[in-house]
Amino acid sequence: MEKKCPDYISNLNDYLDGGVTPELCAEIEAHVGQCKNCQIMVDTLKQTVRLCREGRPEALSPALEAKLAGLLKQHWDKKFGKK
Ligand SMILES: [Zn+2]
């Protein structure tokens, strides 16, 4: 069964935190390696996480998380078409 981008989204934070199994990690990396949208997502998350860690101790704010999710959804809706 092939997963689509949104299936990976919920795992990306855990992936960046190293909180996924080696199997899932490999799966995510394989997908991200050939998916531009998810590359952008991972890069954005990495930058955001780094900024948060360097600047402030708290995690992503809910507002920022919602903004990111909204941006990505727009991206995917455009690329894959709305259901
Ligand atoms: Zn993807």
Ligand 1 mean position to 39 CA, how many Å?
Answer: 7
What the block records as the tokens of 38 is 């998810």
- Give the pLDDT band (50/70/90) at residue 26: very high
Q: Give 67 or 28, the one with higher predicted confidence.
A: 28
Residue ranges covered by each domain of the chain: 5-80
Ligand 1 mean position to 57 CA, how many Å?
Answer: 29
**Mean pLDDT for all residues in the chain:** 82
Can you tell me the distance from the alpha carbon of 1 to that of 33, in angstroms, rounded to the nearest whole number?
19
**Region 19-37 average pLDDT:** 93
Structure pTM? 0.58
The answer, yes or no, to whether residue 19 has pLDDT greater than 60, is yes
CA dihedral over 67, 65, 6, 8, signed as positive or negative: positive
